[in-house]
């Protein structure tokens, strides 16, 4: 971990500090696996149902399970009430989260089955897709779905000329803002998701990848601790 500068961000964080993170596994009684994750004021629930029979049947794959993901920001998750229901943004986010997780899951062990991941953003202050992806990975593990590895995700970016980890909405709204959500596998830091919004130099990109990697490593430790907490042997 690189040295932390004394914080000069609006909330007092150093450039490479995460917001306060909370993680809990097994929070939903009726799901096969579940997790709750907070990155500061961004709060998300993830549930996993399955492996189960596929409905509608024509969607099933005889060779492997299908991994279906749904992402939703509830109406009171943002300042102005958000119109309930799905939009292009939620469909895109569900797609990138699903594509980041698919290579991790042993789908071929469950032919003709579906694994459903539902992500509900109860409060949004930027970084919802990365918090949701982090929670989804935990919920899959909690459901006992066999995986090659787990995934942690965080956004790096730039605001007011500074490279930053885990931007808030206030920081994302800066004129020169760059937002770069990144997801990495625990063991080898393989990049499972990388998106970018804004203009940046090669040097900025390099720095952002460095802080994102540090953030993902911190989150990976917290994910393992959250799982250990639920499954500890008394
Ligand atoms: P992410 O949440 O992954 O950073 P975006 O960059 O699309 O994804 O969104 C950034 C932030 O903008 C969200 O976390 C949320 O705080 C805010 N936001 C997104 N959509 C809406 C909306 N429909 N109404 C109000 N705020 C929104």
Pocket test for ligand 1, best of 124, 153, 182 (most atoms within 8 A of CB): 124
89 Cβ inside 6 Å of ligand 1: yes
For residue 164, the CA-to-ligand 1 centroid distance in Å is 18
For residue range 104-113, what is the model confidence (pLDDT) as tens digits? 999 999 999 9
Q: Which CATH class is domain 21-229?
A: alpha beta
User: Is the separation of the CB atoms in 148 and 108 below 8 Å?
Assistant: no
pLDDT at residue 234, as a whole number: 55
What's this model's pTM, rounded to 2 decimal places? Answer: 0.96
For residue range 39-91, what is the model confidence (pLDDT) as tens digits? 999 999 999 999 999 999 999 999 999 999 999 999 999 999 999 999 999 99
Tokens representing 21?
A: 């993170």
For residue 220, the CA-to-ligand 1 centroid distance in Å is 24
Distances (CA, A) of 188 to 87, 101, 150, 177, 180: 34, 15, 11, 29, 20
Q: Could you identify the residue written with the tokens 């625990």? A: 186
Question: Average per-residue pLDDT in the chain?
Answer: 95
Tokens representing 19?
A: 């917001």
Instruction: Locate the domains of the chain by residue range.
Output: 21-229
Closest atom of ligand 1 to 79 CA is 25
126 Cβ inside 6 Å of ligand 1: yes
For residue range 5-30, what is the model confidence (pLDDT) as tens digits? 557 899 999 999 999 999 999 999 99
Q: What are phi and psi of 37, to 5 degrees?
A: -135, 135
Q: What are phi and psi of 133, to 5 degrees?
A: -65, -40
For residue 32, give every residue at least 6 positions away whose Cβ sits within 8 Å of its Cβ, in sequence order, or none. 48, 49, 50, 143, 144
Q: How many CA atoms lie within 13 A of 154 on its CB side?
A: 34
218 Cβ inside 6 Å of ligand 1: no
pLDDT at residue 111, as a whole number: 98
For residue range 104-149, what is the model confidence (pLDDT) as tens digits? 999 999 999 999 999 999 999 999 999 999 999 999 999 999 999 9
Interatomic CA distance for residues 155 and 195, integer angstroms: 9
Return the CA Rg of the chain: 18
DSSP codes, the chain: -PPPPPP-STTS--TTPPPPEEEEE---TTSSEEEEEEETTEEEEEEEEEEEE-SSGGG--SSS-EEEEEEEE-GGGSSSPPPSS--HHHHHHHHHHHHHHGGGB-GGGSTTEEEEEEEEEEE-SS-HHHHHHHHHHHHHHHTT--BS--EEEEEEEEETTEEEES--HHHHTSTT-EEEEEEEETTT--EEEE--BS---HHHHHHHHHHHHHHHHHHHHHHHHHHHHHH---
Closest atom of ligand 1 to 87 CA is 23
Asked, as a colleague might, if the bond just before 221 is cis with ω within 30 of 0, I would say no
């Amino acid at each position: 971990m690189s040295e932390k500068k004394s914080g000069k961000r609006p909330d007092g964080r150093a450039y490479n500090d995460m917001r306060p993170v909370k993680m809990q596994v097994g929070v939903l009684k009726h799901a096969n696996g579940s997790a709750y994750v907070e990155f500061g004021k961004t709060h998300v629930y993830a549930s996993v149902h399955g492996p189960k029979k596929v409905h509608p049947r024509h969607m099933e794959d005889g060779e492997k399970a299908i991994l279906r993901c749904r992402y939703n920001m509830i109406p009171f998750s943002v300042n102005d009430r958000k119109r309930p229901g799905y939009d292009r943004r939620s469909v895109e986010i569900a797609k990138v989260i699903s594509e980041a997780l698919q290579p991790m899951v042993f789908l071929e062990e469950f032919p003709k089955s579906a694994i459903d991941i539902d992500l509900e953003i109860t409060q949004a202050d930027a970084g919802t897709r990365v918090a949701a992806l982090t929670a989804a990975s935990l919920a899959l593990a909690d459901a006992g779905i066999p995986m090659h590895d787990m995934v942690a995700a965080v956004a790096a970016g730039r605001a007011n000329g500074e490279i930053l980890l885990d931007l808030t909405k206030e920081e994302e709204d800066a004129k020169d803002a760059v937002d770069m959500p990144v997801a990495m596998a625990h063991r080898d830091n393989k990049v499972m998701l990388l998106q970018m919004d804004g203009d940046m130099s090669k040097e900025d990109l390099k720095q952002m990848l460095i802080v994102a990697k540090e953030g993902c490593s911190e989150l990976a430790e917290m994910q393992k601790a959250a799982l250990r907490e639920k499954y500890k042997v008394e």
